[in-house]
Structure formats: structure tokens, C-alpha cells
Amino acid sequence: MCDNSINKEIATLLNLPSSPIEAMSPLLLDNMTEDHAWPELRALRKRKQRSDTLSLKKTGNFRRLENVVWREWFVRCQSPPSPTPSENECPRKIIVNGIDIPTEYEIYEPRRHEMAVIGSYVDPRISTGFCYKVRINGTEKYQFKGKPLRLQSVGKGYGKRLTFAGKSLNQNSNFFWSDTHDQGYAFSIHAVFENDEFGIYDSNHRHIGSAVVESVSDVQKEIAHVTKKDYNEKTVAVTMRCNVQIRSGPHGLVSLISPETLNLDGLAVVVKANKSDKAVTKCVEDIEIPGIGRCTLRSDD
């Protein structure tokens, strides 16, 4: 928040009467902030100074410049008050160091579920074969139209080429270079997807029903990674909305529970065998289903 000095300055520059300015909502006026990236206002300041000093006549260009500033100012004043900045909207700066090349980068800290990539630095948790959604760090823009894709390869050197699965093996345009943007990229892993189907198993490992994922949160956070001789395994915290159908109760009896849609939290276990190029979600553990208790969702494939 700032005072109304910029509003008064614009009123003076545009020769506006004070009454319309004072009549406007104070809340809207307070929402008007000094934006140093506003080139028209800076240009109008300079032209006004020259006009006052040299007694220049206002040309058509000068009038058009005044109109641009007026329209921009009016739009900004009409905009609703900005929400209180959240942690995601006001990230702090962090320092990361290149792994294979001695480099240092100061970037905006990725969100809690994200992992950084910039220049020669790739977060060590990022692994080929797993699916990631990629945000251009410091912005709300995403690579590949915001679609999570499977990471195929990570190149060598300072500017690493990161290649993702595409529709064609011969002409794959799903790649970018790690040094393209000065703030790098923020990777978020995706273990569960819309329309995924699972079998439901109770605490005694009995198959009691099925679940279909109707929607899943983009905030899927990797919380553990294990490297074995023959495979890599990641544990990912997920929140999803599923259509759940229970076929039998804990004692093998037909349940009176009808199909319903539930919000579920759990830990997805994603495994990539060394001989495979694709990671597979084996199960989602620690699911709590009302009336049933602790369950596991397993892929029946």
C-alpha cells in the first residue's frame, strides 16, 4: 500500500479537477500503486517537464499520451484490491550451485512441492521416467500448455537439454534448455492422474471395491526417494477426488454402502525399474475411507 501521491500527480499532469479524485473510493485510490514499469507515465512526466520549461505547445502525440495514461490509471483504480500476498506469490530468493559445473544462481525459491532447474543445476530428486509439470520460475506460465509429461532425458553441460515424451519419436518438440530463462524452471512431480483406476484393499489385504479418480490436485509433493539395485522408488503425497464403490464389507459380506464420491489423501508409491523407461504408480497407501477404515488403492494392471 502507498499514499495517494501518485493519484494527485496524475491529476496534476492531466489537469483534472480535485473533486472527481476526492470523490472516488479511498479503497480504490489506495489500491493504486507506483509502478516503475509503467512507461507512459514516465514519458508524460518528461513531456510535462519540457512543456513547463520550454513553454511547448501540446501536440497530438502529447494528447494521445495523456489519454493512454488516463485510461491505464482508470483501469488500475477500478481493479479490485489485491489479495494479501501468500507465500506462493512472494517467494524469497535462494542460492543454488551447479552440480557438474562450478556455477552459482540466485533464483526465486520454488513452491514447496516444486524442484528447481537452472543452467547446470538440476534438483537431484528429478529423475527420468517420472512425470513432471514444469513452470517457468518466477511466473505463472507453464511448459507444454501445463500438461505433465514424462521426462525422457537430461543433457550434459551448462545449458542442459531436457526432453520429455512426445507423440512422435522421430519429431519430438517437447524439450527446452535449462538456461533459457534467468529464473530457471520449477518441476512438480505427478503420480496420480484424472481417470486413473484402482482396486481398494482393506487392512487385511482383501479386495473390497474399486475407485476411479475424478480429479486430482496439482500439488503432489515428493516426500521420499529410494534407489535400489534394480529400481527407483518415489513416495508422493497426493490429494484426489474419487468415485468409490465398495463391493463387500470387512467380513466378506455385501456392504450397504452405495457408490459415492470422496475426497481422499494418501501416499502414492511410484516405481521405475532400471530396464524400463517409464515409472508406474503401484499403489496409493494410507487412504482413509469412512465406514471402512485404513485402505490401500492398488493398480490392478
φ and ψ at 27, to 5 degrees? Answer: -65, -40
DSSP 145: G
Q: Which amino acid is at 34?
A: E
| Grid cell digits, residue 138 | 518466477
Low-confidence ranges of the chain (pLDDT < 70): 1-91, 169, 248-258, 301
Distance between CA atoms of residues 300 and 223, nearest Å: 24
Instruction: Quote the pLDDT of residue 98.
Output: 84
* Paired residues of 82 in beta bridges: none
Q: Where are the domains of the chain?
A: 5-78, 93-190, 197-298
Q: How far is CA 35 from CA 28, 30, 73, 84, 281, in A?
A: 16, 13, 11, 18, 47
Cα(5)–Cα(19) distance, integer angstroms: 15
Within 55-195, where are the H helices? 60-78
**Taking the CB of residue 134, how many other CB atoms lie within 10 A of it?**
23
Q: Give the pLDDT confidence of 171-187 residue by residue, as tens digits.
A: 789 999 999 999 999 99
Distance of CA 27 to the CA centre of its chain: 30
pLDDT at residue 42 in the model = 57
CA dihedral 293, 299, 300, 301 (to 10 degrees): 180
What span, in angstroms and rounded, lies between the C-alpha atoms of 198 and 243? 10
Please state whether the predicted TM-score (pTM) of the whole model is above 0.75: no
Q: What are phi and psi of 131, to 5 degrees?
A: -95, 135
pLDDT score at 220? 96
The amino acid sitting at 266 is G
